[in-house]
Structure 1
Amino acid sequence: MTAPAQVRAAVIGTSGWADSAHLPGLQARGDVEVAALCGRNPERLAALAGKYRIPRTFTDYRQLLAEVRPEVVVIATPNHTHAPMARAALEAGAHVICEKPLALDAGEAAQMLAQAEALGRRHLTFLTYRGLPATRYLKTLIDEGYLGRLHHVQGCYLHASWLDPARPASWKTIRAEGGSGVLHDLGAHVIDLLQWWFGPVARAAGSLQTFIGERQRDGVRVRVETDDATACALEFEGGGQATLQLSRVAPGRHNYQRFELYGDRGVLVYEYDQPWAHIGRIWGARAGAYDLEPIPIPAALTDGFAGQETFPAIYRAVTDPFFAALDAPGPSPAPSFAEGLAAQRVIDAVARSAASGRWEAAAFA
């Protein structure tokens, strides 16, 4: 029997995230061939191509698109490059997987979505934590009515990745290239999860602060233009509110997430801080009880997710619907560019609020 044809994919970007997430995730899929890789640094490009046995390399993504004509393009590059690269890939006939945040702002994200839809391309915003067993099971519990009507959420996503003042500046510290700092970086995940669970955010209020105001870049001290920490309050269209703390300068935290979700029928708590197990934990209690108990996550969701080399399991959970839909009718499965745009609208509202000092609607200005 003839083996099914593999989808020919190309990856643009050679960052640590491309190396630890996208390339092993794609390589682990039996239905995908990574036919080409593009990056700015020739030495880094050659090293990753050798590691993952990728036959063709390019330093210009336009040349890659013209010569390889991939069916799927994965964009894992700095934020300010997402929109031009995605538009070029869509125009060249490719379906697109784009890293979060989808764009610098909602205007760019809306253009990307409109172009993808007009051309009939599949599109996906790579929002990692939709693939975690805990977040997926939490969605099930919420939809089944465990919380009842939402009252409020208290949440945080904390990291120490920029705590060291000696860490050099990068595109993530430049507003024109990153959009913002931790708000774009970690906030995209948090906002997407909350809107996945509870529906659209109506309005937002926020505060952005930078604690390490200068860093070295190429031997010169430069100003840090983006936020190290963001605090924000959100109100949902369907009722309920959320307060969130995001930080990239939190001592003792590697990749810590915690959300306490309170409704009129119960409380659910989600926590994730497992560098070598991509599962998460859930506790809950019904209204009237005062002791939260662990809620086991079904084995059908957790199988294959524990262990150092298990990120491909998350990758499959996020990308399986996308690849299954390449030749199927209907809309692009979530999280598509539509979900990326929805998160970007809230990010923009938080940033506008930090500048204006007022609540801002989570829609275009």
Structure 2
Amino acid sequence: MRAAIVGSGYIARVHARLIAELCGDVVAVCGRTLSGAQAFGIGQAYDNLDAMLRAEKPDVVHICSPNSFHAEQTIASFAAGAHVLCEKPMATSADDCRRMIDAADTAGRVGAIAYCYRGYPIVRELRRLVRNGDFGALWRITGLYLSQDVCDPDKYVWHFSPGLCGPAFALFDYGVHWFDLLQFVTGQPIAEIQAQFSTRRPDRTWHGNPGEGPRPRGEATEDGGVRVDFALEDQADLLLRLAGGASGSATVMALSPGNPNHIALSVDGESGGFDWLQEQPNSFVERRPGLKIIRDRDPDRLDPADRWTAAVPGGHPEGYPDAFRNVIAESWRGMRGETADFPTFGAGLRGIAIVEAAVASAAERRPVTVDIPGADFARDYPMD
């Protein structure tokens, strides 16, 4: 695939590395500034998306820009004839997601979301076990997504700038990943949510350093910075219910000391359960009455349809880049019409709708039903 990347930050560099591993060709990078795109060091540099699309005519555009730009950049890419792989969150509103889906349909192109954690072989195995009924009817689901990314009170990220992030922070930056992981493994949609939001560090100061984005609105400081009143949640505590009746809780937090990227998923069913940690992705704990078994990653134990996700033999660890590469590969296969089992724009819309329900729940202090008119969960989360 001839790929173009929009954005020149950390996640864009991850995409570039994995595109190369898949023998793709990064033909261009479009940054907020031309110097930023040039510093990327791969492909032709641009600071104008339309100019890049006209000149390069990429097969696929990887959208790695701030949340608020995803919708318009995606729609422009579809209009230029490209497929799109968009970073999460898909957009900042469900309405924008629907516009993106309509644009894909009009152009006859495919949109995918970079839900990278579903690419682990163990996650694929757990999905098969759950959907084959190995744990029986599901009763309890719980989980965590804890990060220390913005624990430092002096750190500023572009998410803090008003208008760039959307109506949520922790849930858009971390939570949508966990929501996708839960629904991917269980094969059931989140049907109801009750949320409590907290903002532990409401004051943030922009200094103009790399990665902080353009100068935001706010109160100027004596040293040339801008003090921003960050009104979004950096901690979300959630009660959840799946369509099949299983219920439980999750916490998503952006300032958890000592947790760079702690993702946990725990499920109980009528005949067994399991626990999985993203920081130890090559094993899971299988639980039966009176018994706990540690299951290490074993490619020979995978369903034949999932064995391609294991790049190395048993006993050799795989990690985050391998899982992410699997999701990009599967998305590209979807763009070539070879599979429907990839993170679709329908799955991306579902994540945004869950966040919108959580925002409403936190504001109104009540449970909120996750309502997505016209959505088809089986189409958004096919088994193969």
TM-score norm. by structure 2 comes to 0.85
The one-letter code sitting in structure 2 at the alignment partner of 1:13 is G
Structure 1 match to 2:9:
15
**1:34-113 superposed matches below 5 A:** 34-49=26-41, 52=42, 54=43, 56-113=44-101
Deviations 1:227-273 (A, max 9, x none): 11111111111211130001111111111111210110101101122
> Which one-letter code corresponds to 2:283 in the other structure?
R
- Residue 368 of structure 2 is matched in structure 1 by 360
Kindly indicate whether residue 169 of structure 2 is the aligned counterpart of residue 181 of structure 1: yes
Amino acid at match of 1:318: V
Distance 1:190 1:311 in 2: 15
SS of residue paired to 1:93 = coil
The amino acid across from 1:257 in the alignment is I
What TM-score comes out, normalization by structure 1 length?
A: 0.89
Secondary structure of 2:205 counterpart = strand
- Structure-to-structure mapping, 1:275-286, within 5 angstroms: 279-286=281-288
- Shift of the alpha carbon at 1:186? 0.6
Report the identity percentage.
27
Distance in 2 separating the partners of 1:189 and 1:72? 22
Residue type of the partner of 1:363? D
Distance in 2 separating the partners of 1:98 and 1:62: 17
Partners of 2:362 and 2:279 lie apart in 1 by 29
1:32-90 per-position Cα deviation (integer Å, ceiling 9, x unaligned): 211111102333322212xx4x2x11011111112211111110010000000000001
Q: Cα distance, 1:206 vs. partner?
A: 0.4
Is 1:347 equivalent to 2:341 in the alignment?
Answer: no
Matched, 1:259 2:247: no
CA distance in 2, matches of 1:176, 1:152: 36
CA distance in 1, matches of 2:189, 2:334: 25
Residue 191 of structure 1: CA displacement?
A: 0.4
Report what 1:240 is aligned to.
246
1:312 deviates by 4.3
Distance in 2 (CA, whole Å) between partners of 1:280 and 1:229 is 28
Q: What do the CA deviations read for 1:81-115 (whole angstroms, capped 9, x no partner)? A: 00000000011111000001101021111221122
| CA RMSD, Structure 1 to Structure 2 (Å) | 2.0
Q: Which residue of structure 2 aligns with residue 171 of structure 1?
A: 158
Quote the offset at 1:321 in angstroms: 2.5
CA change 1:123–1:58 in 2 (3 A) is same
1:195 CA displacement: 1.3
Unmatched runs of 5 consecutive residues or more in structure 1: 1-6
Match of 2:200 among 206, 211, 223: 211
Query: Given that residues 174 and 226 in structure 1 are in contact (C-alpha distance below 8 angstroms), is that contact kept between their aligned partners in structure 2?
Result: no
Q: CA deviation at 1:319?
A: 2.0
Partner of 2:382: none
Secondary structure at the counterpart of residue 87 of structure 1: helix
Give unpaired runs (5+ residues) of structure 2.
208-224, 300-306, 374-384
CA distance in structure 1 between the aligned counterparts of 2:252 and 2:310, rounded to whole angstroms: 27
Secondary structure (helix, strand or coil) at the match of 1:232 reads strand
User: Structure 1 residues 163 and 327 mapped into 2: Cα distance closer, same or farther (>3 Å)?
Assistant: closer
1:29 aligns to 2:22 (yes or no): yes
Secondary structure, aligned partner of 1:186? helix
Count of residues in correspondence between the two structures: 344
Q: Secondary structure at the match of 1:176?
A: coil
Task: Give the secondary-structure state (helix, strand or coil) at the position aligned to 1:145.
Answer: coil
Write the deviation string for residues 299-332 of structure 1: whole angstroms up to 9, x where unpaired. 3554449679x65422331022222233437x75
Name the CA distance, whole Å, in 1 between partners of 2:334 and 2:226: 48
Alignment of 1:246-325 (within 5 A): 246-273=252-279, 279-286=281-288, 288-289=289-290, 291-299=291-299, 301-304=309-312, 311-325=320-334
2:117 touches 2:324 (CA, 8 Å); kept in 1? no
Question: Using a 3 Å threshold, how does the CA distance of structure 1 residues 104 and 267 change in structure 2: closer, same or farther?
Answer: same
